[in-house]
Amino acid sequence: MEMKKPVIKSIPYEEFKDNETLEALIAEINKERTNVVLGRLDDLINWGRSNSLWSLTFATSCCGIEFMSVGASRYDFARFGFEVTRNSPRQADLIMCAGTITHKMAPVLKRLYDQMAEPKYVVAVGGCAISGGPFKGSYHVLNGIDKIIPVDVYIPGCPPRPEAILYGMMQLQRKVKVEKFFGGKNKHQQKGYMPDEPIIVTNCPTEQTNGKDE
Partner 1 sequence: MSFKNTYIGTIVYAVKSLATGMKVTLCEFFTRKVTEHYPENRKTLKISDRHRGVLVMPHDDEGNNKCIACGLCQMTCPNGTISITTKSVTDEETGKSKKVLVEYNYDLGACMFCQLCVNACPKGAIEFSNEFENAVFDRKKLVLKLNK
Partner 2 sequence: MMEVTFVEIEEFRSTMIHLHRKGMDFLREMIGMDWNEEGLGAIYILENSDTHECTEIAVRTTDRENPELPSVSDLWMVAEFYEREVFDFYGIRFTGHHDLRRLFLRKDWVGHPLRKDYDTSEEINPIRMESEPVEEFSREYDIKDDKELAEKVEKLKILHYDQYTVNIGPQHPATHGVLHFHLSLEGEEVRKVDIHCGYIHRGIEKLCESRTYPQTLAFTDRLDYLSAHQNRHALCMCIENAMGLEVTERVQYIRTIMDELQRIDSHLLMYSCMAMDMGAITGFIYGFREREKILDIMEEVTGGRLIQNYNVIGGVQADITPGFAQKVKEYCNDQKKRIREYYDVFVNNVIFTNRAKGVGVLTRNDAISFGATGGTGRASGWACDVRKRHPYAMYGKVDFKEIIHTGGDSYDRLLVRLEEIMQSIHIIEQLIDNIPEGDFRTKTKPIIKLPEGRFTASVEGSRGEFGVFIESRGDKTPYRMKFRPTGLPLIAAAHKIMKGCKIADLITIGASLDYVIPDIDR
Which residue stretches of 82-210 are H helix?
106-115, 127-131, 162-177
Buried-state track 187-200, b at ≥16 Cβ within 10 A, e below 16: eeeeeeeeeeeeee
Rounded CA separation 35/43 (Å): 12
d(CA 61, CA 213) in angstroms, rounded, equals: 39
Cβ closer to partner 1: 27 or 44?
27
Evaluate whether 58 touches 105 at the Cβ level (below 8 Å). Answer: no
- Count of residues touching partner 1 (by CB under 8 A): 55
Judged by beta carbon, residue 190 or residue 208, the one nearer partner 1 is: 208
Q: Which is nearer to partner 1, 2 or 214 (CB)?
A: 214
Cβ neighbors of 178 (< 8 A, separation 6 or more) are: 4, 6, 22, 25, 26, 29, 46
Residue 203 binding partner 1, by CB under 8 A: yes
Q: How far is the CB of 143 from partner 1 (least distance, A)?
A: 9
- Could you say which of partner 2, partner 1, none residue 198 binds, taking C-beta under 5 to 8 angstroms by partner kind? none
Applying CB under 8 A, which of residues 158, 182, 183, 194 lies at the interface with partner 1? 158
**Which residues contribute to the site for partner 1 (CB under 8 A)?**
8, 10-11, 17-18, 21-22, 25, 73-76, 79, 127, 130-137, 144, 146, 151-158, 160-161, 163-164, 166-168, 170-171, 175, 199, 201-205, 208-214
